[in-house]
Structure 1
Amino acid sequence: MGFDAEGMWDSVAAEWDARGEWHAGVTRPLTDAMVEALAPRDTDTVVELACGPTADIATAVAERPGFAGTVRAGDLSLQMVAAAERRSYGKRLDISFEQLDVTALTLADDSVDRVAARWIYMLLPDPLQGLREADRVLRPGGRLVFAVFAAAAANPFFMLPGSVLAEHGLFQPPAPGQPNMFALADEDGTHQLARDAGFTATSVQDVPLTYRFTDPDDLWSWVSDFAGPISMALRAQSQGTRAQLRGEIEKRAERFRDGAGYALPGLARVFTAAR
């Protein structure tokens, strides 16, 4: 049986939804950078892929003064789509929501002016297929803007708890070539991947992020419920083991103390690919 990506994202949708506003705040610099790179014209059709429970990029485009184009947002997880649609309804924004699989988009050829995709291609078994789909649906002169993470060492927000679990044999870094958060961190390799997908020109911009946690409980809540494979590994541990790991993570996080809480750095990488 193959990996059920839709089921996996559905299973974490509630936790992601609960932290939606927090995550939107953390990633605001990235959202701003991606919208600036998209440079949507007032009548463009803009699609956000893997929109999650907040559809931050679609929301930012729809809120732009004078924008009169079409905004669509989709995710493989219907639970994520439903959460994003609820948020949009509260803001009275004109965004259409739908289930979209980045590897098999239900969009016509040459039908879109701008595509945005944050932190999804590196998680695909075949990122080239996802990029080719974006190229297919874009009109000539269109633009794809997608975000990945820079190298693991530049992202302590994830690697700090990950390293603690790894030292206990509870977290195994993915093998080279396997889908993971840092699979597209190599700048030259990702440029080449975009060109292989059919894009004619690419550029890149690094965007620093700060993951702020108000106190140790807030940090542990994120590690336990929101940190992807780390959270999954923790759920399989006994209460005693979890308590021990929490203590070690908090001790290691002391160097990132910010008042009563923590400020852990991260680094995203934004690629712009022209069709």
Structure 2
Amino acid sequence: METALEQIREQQKQTWDRFSPGWKKWDSWTMNFLRPMGYEIVSALHITASDQVLDVATGTGEPGLTLARLANHGHVIGFDLSEGMLAVARENATRQGIANYEAVAGDVCESPFENHRFDAISCRMGFMFFPDMLLAAQEMHRVLKPCGRLATCVWATPAQNPWITTMMGAIAAHMALPAPPPGAPGMFRCAQPGMLIGLLQAAGFENVHQKEVVSIVGFATPEEYWQNMTEVAAPVVAAMSQADEATRAAIKKSVFASLEQNRVDGEIRLQFASLVLSAEKG
């Protein structure tokens, strides 16, 4: 891997290790939030009891732990850059009594697994952060068995995801943030129509299908939203670390005003949308 991409990988590892306590705090909430995409991934993989499964970018363990319950005579490896996140995944596996889930640290672009190892691969909200997405897809293809299945998801367009753009829009209105380089890792890097479909096909996958999943996430109060965003949302934390107290207060005031426009039956409700893709190895 090129030096610049290696630097991105190390920065990401440090970032996710640093955020892992916040993700542990919000784990139940986050897993409920991401469950619609996890459900689609699990459904697309058609897991059997004896399957060998790789869950890439497993984070705190899902959907790998759910897959491990289905492959109860097989084995699931949760694979992630961050040891901090994997520590939470191991705790979750132990607490849930799941013995066939193994958390392994590493980079999907330099996968340590042998050819044709896995029956299925899941990857929830990982692709857009990989330094080299094509190489990651090629490595997934390499380690899948013939006729193996892949299911993944990424965020749809910013306009379809006010759950995060409400915050990021307020930040952009009060701070002059440098634009990321074109194609740099980020939440909406894979939102362009057909982009990830073409990438998976270029990596050798066949029968690539995509569906859109749209739902609503709720917050009890604007303060709950604020705490969530400032503790687990990587782009928010990065931007807010550069804000002085006055700017931070102004951003918070703007966010709270926007959130009140989305209050329904006493709850703040915001849309989110993702793209779920499934594919096969020939």
Q: What is the RMSD computed on CA atoms of the aligned residues? A: 1.6
Structure 2: 5+ residue runs without aligned partners? none
Give the counterpart of 2:68 among 62, 72, 76: 62
Residue 132 (structure 2) pairs with residue 156 (structure 1): no
TM-score normalized with structure 2 length: 0.92
The C-alpha deviation readout for 1:208-234, integer Å capped at 9, x for no partner, is 232221112101101211221122111
Residue 28 (structure 2) pairs with residue 21 (structure 1): yes
Provide the rounded CA distance (Å) in 2 between the counterparts of 1:201 and 1:171: 40
Provide the rounded CA distance (Å) in 1 between the counterparts of 2:179 and 2:38: 28
Shift of 1:39: 0.9
Provide the rounded CA distance (Å) in 2 between the counterparts of 1:224 and 1:122: 21
The code of the aligned residue for 2:125 comes to W
Counterpart in 2 of 1:165?
Answer: 171
Give the counterpart of 2:210 among 199, 204, 215: 204
Give the counterpart of 1:50 among 36, 40, 57: 57
Provide the rounded CA distance (Å) in 1 between the counterparts of 2:121 and 2:188: 21
Provide the rounded CA distance (Å) in 1 between the counterparts of 2:161 and 2:81: 26
Q: Percent identity?
A: 26
Call closer, same or farther: CA 1:172–1:119 in 2, change over 3 Å: farther
* Preserved contact between residue 118 and residue 145 of structure 2 (Cα < 8 Å): yes
* Preserved contact between residue 170 and residue 233 of structure 1 (Cα < 8 Å): no
Provide the rounded CA distance (Å) in 1 between the counterparts of 2:103 and 2:131: 25
Residue 106 (structure 2) pairs with residue 100 (structure 1): yes
Give the counterpart of 2:230 among 224, 231, 237: 224
Provide the rounded CA distance (Å) in 1 between the counterparts of 2:241 and 2:75: 41
The C-alpha deviation readout for 1:74-127, integer Å capped at 9, x for no partner, is 211001111110011011102111113111111111100100011111112311
Give the counterpart of 1:35 among 20, 33, 42: 42
Shift of 1:239: 2.1
Provide the rounded CA distance (Å) in 2 between the counterparts of 1:63 and 1:237: 44
* Preserved contact between residue 49 and residue 100 of structure 1 (Cα < 8 Å): no
Residue 115 (structure 2) pairs with residue 109 (structure 1): yes
Provide the rounded CA distance (Å) in 2 between the counterparts of 1:180 and 1:73: 22
* Preserved contact between residue 174 and residue 247 of structure 2 (Cα < 8 Å): no
Counterpart in 1 of 2:88?
Answer: 83
Tell me the secondary structure at the aligned position of residue 187 of structure 1: coil
Provide the rounded CA distance (Å) in 1 between the counterparts of 2:85 and 2:129: 17
Provide the rounded CA distance (Å) in 1 between the counterparts of 2:185 and 2:270: 24
Provide the rounded CA distance (Å) in 2 between the counterparts of 1:113 and 1:44: 6
The code of the aligned residue for 2:120 comes to R
